[in-house]
Structure 1
């Protein structure tokens, strides 16, 4: 009897020991992957400081920021219950990038009914969300303009706009009746950025980039409070075709050679876009620094808030979404880059209120808008 109890005790102890070993092994595996996730997050933070011209890999990994952040948060939640001291690994790394988190997500909007400058920015994809047929584009243009008129914008910045006729803006205005936005600045071509405003324009300029159709329209407008320099920009895109996306979707384990070819092509386009966009962002920054007036920067940056592009362009400017937005600032309907790539930035001379992202599917982007109210001068 004693021998039987002794044998059962040994068996029970061995079982407990095995469970303890497995538990420790499982936790060590989780800790290993947690450390990898935390280090990846730190590596991503480099992307805002290191120009892709010098080293482009942080920019590539930076596209995964929301997912790596979420993974670290899940690790924090697990360790808080399993072994609280290890939660510090991710808590510290997430905390070091708290400002990046703010650029992606805001908890509470900041609203005001005071009169200010209503600003709207929208990449309309040549008004051709349903395709590039003239009839579809014309109908979609009417839908878009009807929607935007409800906002009563004082400054309206379009990217990838098309006038849809040979008469340019005059014909476009006659066709769609843009009352309240009588003055405009554009590149003098059929397709590109266009700035419309109800304020008088006293100066116009353009910044063209080499070997690309992307550009910046500069417009000095006289507002009731001050002269404002408006930068309407469309920075370098990845230029992925539908065929590129389809090729990635059809990657097969049995076609290793084809897979590598597709990955190399995809990576090449990413690298070229990162480098071109970094150079364009630096030029835009130089233009902002040279402005004699407070500035407003609207446009499609084609890059996320955790990027060299955003960090370089923003500088000391305020981000209207960070100031007065709420929720996840997703502005792009496409698959890459996901989340927020359309921005309204402005000088500290103003406060932004009522930031909105209208989730309408008239384009592959969402329109963004806010109200800028001048700070009271002493």
Structure 2
């Protein structure tokens, strides 16, 4: 007979042992650490610092490469007109930011060599940054202007008064109270193309006693008698009988010799063409073809200006919209023979464009030779009338 378990018989008791935590009320202890699972280990501080150091090294190498190529190619190869659009202040800001990161986050091994390289990059970019170092020197700056000093205003008007209330535009100009005005973009923009204006009657009415000289889109107003008017470079080939379109395309440097209290002084009104055609797609061949052709035109205007200035026996004042930043080497020739007026300014970082935005680019310049002394150089907010700040200067003839 088979043996069966009695259902009324109690089950065998479980083996006795020490009570578990749930029974004794003792809180459970931390679980024992087992071996780490593959792929789940956390990076230690050494590994994170190494990654940061590697990133800083890569950024430093990239900036050093850009800085070196800027020195070698800017003003020499038309393609570099595109990388030249980087705001010049980056030549100071980028090394400073990388230096700060290297000092706090880089590993000990790379910190010292990285710091040396970044300091060298910082010093190599000082003259390309656009910073007015003279404004940081206490007690610096030019002396007071003597009686009879000449007040000059140079301004890219951005299509004259066609995008503004005309009364407001002319009111702004007259409020400058300048002896000489060097104005650019005396034109309208119609259907994506430049078009001539006919406002000479109003200009003469608004500025009685001034003499007016016009070349294409450039206007020079003077309280002083005009001795001669000379289009420089390509503009000289257009002649008095040329069409407005020819003058606009070729005449970008207008020299006007003025009789300033018995002494001739040459004032150059300059508008170097912009290097890009923003209406074209960067993916089209025409975009780059236009840059190449404009680079040739820009070089021609710079060379003609440099020749004329170098051969000019009179005191020289040159100002206008050069569409060239302090980091671009297109201005090297001019800066070799003339003096930038910037040391006479109290502005530390002049950004004449875009006045409606961040204003990180100085595209407008003023130069003189040793026969003129600059006493004051200011940049004026155009109050929405233009995307360029106006340049205001006070100059005098020594003696």
Aligned with residue 361 of structure 2, among 327, 332, 339: 339
- Aligned residue among 97, 101, 112 for 2:129: 101
Q: Shift in Å at residue 144 of structure 1? A: 2.8
Give deviations 1:120-162, integer Å, cap 9, x for gaps: 10111332462xxxxx5xx33x323322322221111011225
1:227 counterpart residue number: 264
Structure 2 gaps of 5+ residues are 1-32, 189-195, 236-245
What CA distance in whole angstroms lies between the structure 2 residues aligned with 1:283 and 1:238? 18
CA positional deviation for 1:75: 0.4
Q: Which runs of 5+ in 1 are unaligned?
A: 1-6, 131-135, 249-259
Q: CA deviation at 1:336?
A: 12
Residue 229 of structure 1 deviates from its aligned partner by 1.0
User: What root-mean-square deviation, in Å, do the aligned CA atoms of Structure 1 and Structure 2 show?
Assistant: 3.5
Instruction: Report how far residue 238 of structure 1 moved.
Output: 3.5
Mapping of residues 325-364 of structure 1, within 5 Å: 325-333=346-354, 339-360=361-382, 361-364=384-387
- Alignment of 1:120 with 2:153, yes or no, is yes
Higher relative contact order (CA 8 A, sep 6+): 1
Matched, 1:61 2:88: no
In 1: Cα distance, 2:396 partner to 2:60 partner: 44
Query: Counterparts of 1:116-155 in structure 2 under 5 Å?
Result: 116-128=149-161, 130=163, 139-140=165-166, 142-155=167-180
Structure number with larger C-alpha Rg: 2
Q: In 1, are the aligned partners of 2:345 and 2:376 still within 8 Å (CA)? A: yes
Structure 1 CA distance, aligned partners of 2:73 and 2:262? 37
- Aligned pair partner of 2:120 in 52, 73, 92: 92
| Deviation, structure 1 residue 318 | 1.4
Give the C-alpha shift of residue 217 in structure 1.
Answer: 0.9
State the aligned residue count: 335
Aligned to 2:320: 299
Are 1:216 and 1:231, in contact at CA under 8 Å, matched by a contact in 2?
yes
SS of structure 1 residue aligned to 2:275: coil
Question: How far 1:351 sits from its partner (Å)?
Answer: 2.7
Matches within 5 A, 1:1-378: 18-47=44-73, 50-51=75-76, 55-66=77-88, 68-69=90-91, 70-82=93-105, 84-85=111-112, 86-102=114-130, 107-108=135-136, 110=141, 113-115=144-146, 116-128=149-161, 130=163, 139-140=165-166, 142-162=167-187, 166=198, 169=200, 171-176=201-206, 178-180=207-209, 182-187=210-215, 191-207=216-232, 209=234, 212-224=249-261, 226-238=263-275, 240-241=277-278, 243-244=279-280, 260-261=283-284, 264-333=285-354, 339-360=361-382, 361-375=384-398, 377=399
